[in-house]
Amino acid sequence: MIEKLNKAFCKLPGVGSKSAQRFIYHLLERDRQGGLELSEALAETMKKVKNCERCRTLSEKTLCSICANNARDGSQLCIVETPTDIHVIEQSGVYSGKYFVLSGYLSPIDGIGAAELGLDELENLLKNEKVNEIILATNATIEGEVTAHYIYNLAKKYQIKTTRIAHGIPLGGELEYTDINTIAHALSGRKSYDI
């Protein structure tokens, strides 16, 4: 029984057999109630959380809280790779538009094409809603760039302005410890210094 639970814990990212054992003994010896609560919360979440019909993020309702919020600016559409990315952007507190979540990134070699990404839904959304700006916030990886480029072409078809979030030296970062690709990106993406 404990071995079965150990294996189930090992399916979580970054959890190996030793950590799983620590979790199990901790729960059994000090917090059985916590273990039962975790079990219930897990079952409930796995069964009830679906995808938002409009932006495809994870949501308990048909429309997620951001899509359902009319105070948010529907003319801006930020495109991200995962629901976690929305969470991070929301924490930054500078964006008040809406989102669209891809199912990862274009990667034909893994069998992930335009349909799997949800680009058809994105196109429908662009047809039905009045979007003035698409902000591409896919990751700064090769796949993320390819995906961004693909969506840029799609947006061009509907004559929608497209922007890409800036890439460069992170705040508080030192040049000495920054990798060369980031430095190259930061240099080529330099802006005029106006006060």
Chain residues binding its own copies by CB under 8 A are: 1-2, 4-5, 8-9, 11-15, 19, 21-29, 31-32, 34-49, 58, 60, 82-84, 87
Cβ-based nearer residue to its own copies, 32 or 156: 32
Cβ-based nearer residue to its own copies, 40 or 129: 40
Between CA 44 and CA 55 the distance in angstroms is 22
Cβ-based nearer residue to its own copies, 99 or 126: 99
Which of these, 88, 93, 160, lies nearest to 122 by C-alpha position?
A: 160
Q: Which distant-in-sequence residues (6+ apart) come within 8 Å of 73 by Cβ?
A: 96, 97, 98
CB 121 within 8 A of CB 160: no
Cβ-based nearer residue to its own copies, 48 or 161: 48
**For residue 31, which phi and psi values (nearest 5 degrees)?**
-150, 60
